[in-house]
Amino acid sequence: MLQRHAACIRALLIRDLMVRYGRENLGFIWAMLEPMLLTSGVLVIWSLLKQPVIHGLPLIGFVLTVYMPLTMWRHMTSSMVRLIGHNRGLLYHPQLSHFDVVLARIVLEFLSTSIALMTIHFVLLATNLTEPVQDWGKLLAAWLFTAWFHAGLGLLIAAATERWETFEKFIQPAQYLALPLSGVWFMVDWLPSRFQELILWNPQVHCFEMFRAGYFGEGVVTHYDPLYLAAWSLTLSVLGLLALGAVGEHVRA
C-alpha cells in the first residue's frame, strides 16, 4: 500500500514539473529558480534603498528571513486553489485519489522552496554577504513548522475551493490582509509591550520568530512557542484532511 502511494506521488511530482515548467530550456530547474529569483530581486532592491542594518540586524539576513518563509507560505497555499478540479481528469485512474494529487503538490512546493533557501543562503555565504546560520537545528525545526502549518492551511483551501468555487476569489485578498499581522515585516520585540502579547495569538508570527531565532542565534530577542505552533499545525492538518475526505463524493460526481 505504501509503495503504491509512493509510486503515485513520484509520478504526480514528475507530471507537475513537466506541466508547469516543460521539457525544454531550463525545464525542471525553474522549480527552484522561481523562489530564488523573487528573493534575490528583493535582496538587491532593499540593499540599494535601505541602510545595511535594520534594528541591529544585517539587512540581507533579515530580508532572507522575510522572503523565504513568505515564499513557503505563498506556494503552499496559492497552489492549492482549485487544485483538485484542475486535475480532475487524473482521478479516472483507479490508482489515484484526490489525496494523492494534493500531497504531491505539497511535496513539490516544499522541496523546491527548500532547495531555493539552501542555494540562496550558501551563495550569500560564499560571497560574504551574510553570516552563517547560528542554530541549524532550530532553523530546520522552524522551516518544518512553517511548511506543516501552511500545508494544513493549504489542505483546507484545496477542499474549500473544490466545494465552493467562489471561495477562490477570497484567497488572495485574505493573504494580503494577513501580511501586516503575520510577523513578516517586523519582530515581536520591536513592538510596544502592550501589543506583543496580542500579536502572539497569530501562529504565523511564531513561524517567523522561530526561523529568525535559528538564523540569528541568541543575540536576537525572539518570542515563539513551538507547542502552540504544533497545536495549530496539527489542528489545521486534521481539519484539512477531514475536509478533503468530505469533498470526496463531490470530486467523484
Residue 89, pLDDT > 70, answer yes
Q: How confident is the model at residue 83 (pLDDT cuts 50, 70, 90)?
A: confident
The burial class, CB within 10 Å (0-12 / 13-18 / 19+), for 182 is buried
Residue 35 confidence (pLDDT) = 66
Q: How confident is the model at residue 147 (pLDDT cuts 50, 70, 90)?
A: very high
| Nearest residue to 157 (alpha-carbon basis) of 73, 232, 220, 221 | 73
The pLDDT of 32-52, averaged and rounded, is 72
Q: State the total domains in the chain.
A: 1
Q: Which residue has the higher pLDDT, 40 or 220?
A: 220
| Nearest residue to 71 (alpha-carbon basis) of 102, 104, 32 | 32
| Nearest residue to 212 (alpha-carbon basis) of 234, 190, 193 | 190
Locate 229 and state its grid cell: 505552533
Residue whose entry in the numeric block shows the C-alpha cell 504531491: 104
Residue 43 confidence (pLDDT) = 73
Q: How confident is the model at residue 163 (pLDDT cuts 50, 70, 90)?
A: confident
- Cβ pair 240, 156 in contact under 8 A: yes
The Cα 24–Cα 58 span in angstroms is 39
Q: How confident is the model at residue 158 (pLDDT cuts 50, 70, 90)?
A: very high
The pLDDT of 3-19, averaged and rounded, is 76
Gyration radius (Cα) of the chain, Å: 19
The pLDDT of 44-71, averaged and rounded, is 83
The pLDDT of 123-137, averaged and rounded, is 90
The Cα 146–Cα 20 span in angstroms is 24
Q: How confident is the model at residue 19 (pLDDT cuts 50, 70, 90)?
A: confident
Question: Please, which residues have CB within 8 angstroms of residue 126's CB and are 6 or more apart in sequence?
Answer: none
- Cβ pair 174, 203 in contact under 8 A: no
| Nearest residue to 76 (alpha-carbon basis) of 46, 112, 45, 106 | 106
Domain range spanning residue 240? 2-252
The pLDDT of 53-76, averaged and rounded, is 88
Q: Which residue has the higher pLDDT, 49 or 152?
A: 152
Q: What are phi and psi of 221, to 5 degrees?
A: -80, 125
Residue 251, pLDDT > 70, answer no
Residue 253, pLDDT > 60, answer no
- Cβ pair 81, 161 in contact under 8 A: yes
Share of the chain above pLDDT 90, in %: 45
What pTM was estimated for this model as a whole?
A: 0.89
Cα dihedral angle (82, 85, 87, 93), rounded to 10 degrees? 150
Residue 199, pLDDT > 90, answer yes
